[in-house]
Structure formats: C-alpha cells, structure tokens
Amino acid sequence: MPLPLKGKVAFITGASRGIGQACAIALAQAGVHCILSARTQGGLMQTDDVIQSYGGNATLLPLDLSSYNPSQQIDLIGPSIASEFNRLDIFIHAAFQYVPLTPVTHITDSTWDKNIQANLSSSWRFIRTLSPLLYATVNANAVFFQPMASIQPFWSPVTSIQSALGAMLQSWQQEIMQLYSLQIHYLSLPPTNTLLRQSFFPAENKHKLNTPEQTAKEILAKIFP
Ligand SMILES: NC(=O)c1ccc[n+]([C@@H]2O[C@H](COP(=O)([O-])OP(=O)(O)OC[C@H]3O[C@@H](n4cnc5c(N)ncnc54)[C@H](OP(=O)(O)O)[C@@H]3O)[C@@H](O)[C@H]2O)c1
C-alpha cells in the first residue's frame, strides 16, 4: 500500500471517538504519525489499536480541556512536540464538550466556564503553543470545525463559541497571510452520527447521517485536494 503522507506528524484532539477518531485513523492509514488527545484513555487506546492494526503507530496524550487550570498542560504541548518530532504538519481540533441547550438567562456559572474553557479558550491556547512549529513546517494545516448550529433560541452556548472562534481564526489568518505557508481551515461539516450529535438531536434518524468515516474522508479531501 502506498503511504502518501509518510513522515508527516499530526496532532488530533477529540481522537477518542467520532470525527476526531475517524480523522486520526484515516491519517494513520496514509502514513502519518498521529498524536491523539482526549480525556478518555480507553477511547484513545481503542483508536491506537485500530492504527496499530494498520501497521501505524501513535502517541497518546490524555487531556481534559475543561479542567480548572489546563494552561500549563496545553502550553507545554508545542515545545514537547517540537523536541520529539521537530515538525507538525496537521493540527485537527475536533474536541468539543457537550453543553446543555438552555435560555441565555438560565446558563449556570459552571456550564458557562466549562464551555468557554473547553470549547473556546482551548483553541486559543493550542494556536499559541503550536503556531511556532506549524509556521516552521512547510505547508502545514490547522483545522477547526464550526459547531452544528444556526442562531436560534436555547443554542447560545454553542453559537457564542462558533462566532468567537470564527472571528479569532479570521484574525489569525489575516495576521499570517503572506508570511507562512500554514493553511487555516474553519470547516462546516455534514450532520454526522456521533455521540455529540445524538446528545444535541436525540430524536433524529441516525441512518440519514454521515458516518464519522465518511465525514473524515470529506475533511481530508478538503485539506489535501
Ligand atoms: N457530529 C456532527 O454532526 C458535527 C457537525 C458539525 C460540527 N461538528 C464538530 O466536529 C467536532 C467533533 O465532534 P463529534 O461529533 O465527533 O463529537 P464526539 O463524537 O462527541 O467527539 C467529541 C470528542 O471531544 C472530546 N472531548 C469532549 N470534551 C472534552 C474535554 N473536556 N477535554 C478533552 N476532550 C474532550 C471527546 O473525548 P472524551 O470524552 O474522551 O474527552 C471526543 O473525543 C466538534 O468540533 C463538533 O462541533 C460535528
């Protein structure tokens, strides 16, 4: 089997299940060494098992993005990957912590803080710690996903993240334009049968949704056209 991406290194969050897991497996099948992150060690090991069954290998990095003070852990990731691999070709930020849908006036302190920490601040911290390595690696890609929401009642915890992340990524894109070969992607995704989707839309007909593998294929086709 040809390995078109052999020698490349990817860091994937949300790699314990769903779309992140499917992206990691697809990248590993193409020869990429994947650094896999999520909270659940068992899920990461499952992803690793599949990767190993294809003859690939991965590095596991259990991490809770909503924990009280994740800054130290996240801030160390860029330098750690630099010293271990000296390159980062692909960053896919697929982690997203489910947040209950609720009227703006009913969002609790704990829900607000965890949502911002896990689903927004983590992106900024990853950008800060990974950017030196992403800039130094020729034709690197940083991939973020638009959450699955349009502005409507009760969805403000999700739509707030979507708007803020989109604005931050646009600024970042403009700051680095013409300076580096890094491509920044903020992708909207087709409805995909995952735990997150089931949590937001429990009554939905799952058979009409993409599988995570189908969506991962579409994502990789956008990154490597
Ligand atoms: N599914 C869709 O239809 C759809 C549509 C549009 C966009 N998206 C986007 O696609 C991305 C992936 O979502 P998915 O549907 O694949 O969801 P998923 O199957 O529920 O996966 C979410 C991933 O995030 C990780 N995660 C959750 N909270 C975390 C935390 N606090 N710290 C670290 N990792 C955490 C989970 O692992 P652990 O629980 O092990 O930590 C899991 O690996 C998200 O950005 C989502 O907004 C999905």
Q: Domain of 23: which CATH number?
A: 3.40.50.720
Residues having CB within 6 Å of any atom of ligand 1: 14, 16-20, 38-40, 43, 63-66, 94-97, 118, 145, 147-148, 189, 191-192, 194-197
Within a domain: 90: yes
pLDDT, residue 107, reads 96
Ligand 1, residues 48, 196, 205: which to mutate, most atoms within 8 A of Cβ? 196
Of all protein residues, whose CA lies closest to atom 21 belonging to ligand 1?
A: 18
Q: Give the count of beta carbons closer than 10 Å to the beta carbon of residue 188.
A: 9
Q: What is the pLDDT of residue 13?
A: 98
- Tell me the per-residue pLDDT of 61-82, one tens digit each, with 9 for 90 and over: 999 999 766 666 899 999 999 9
Give a yes or no: residue 158 inside a domain.
yes
Whats the size of the chain, residue-wise?
Answer: 225
Angle between helices 156-176 and 109-116 (to 10 degrees): 30
Q: Is residue 4 part of a domain?
A: no
Q: DSSP H helical segments within 71-211, as ranges?
A: 71-85, 109-116, 122-136, 156-176, 195-200
* 30 domain-assigned: yes
Whether residue 27 lies inside any domain: the answer is: yes
Residue 176 has φ and ψ, to the nearest 5°, of -100, -5
What is the model's pLDDT at position 35? 98
pLDDT in tens, the chain (225 residues): 668 899 999 999 999 999 999 999 999 999 999 999 999 999 999 999 999 999 999 999 999 999 766 666 899 999 999 999 999 999 999 999 999 999 999 999 999 999 999 999 999 999 999 999 999 999 999 999 998 778 899 999 999 999 999 999 999 999 999 999 999 999 999 999 999 999 999 999 999 999 999 999 999 999 998
Q: Does a structural domain hold residue 1?
A: no
Domain limits for position 169:
9-223
Sequence-distant (6+) residues with CB within 8 A of 71 are 125
Number of domains in the chain: 1
pLDDT given at position 70: 61
Residue keyed to tokens 């497996």: 25
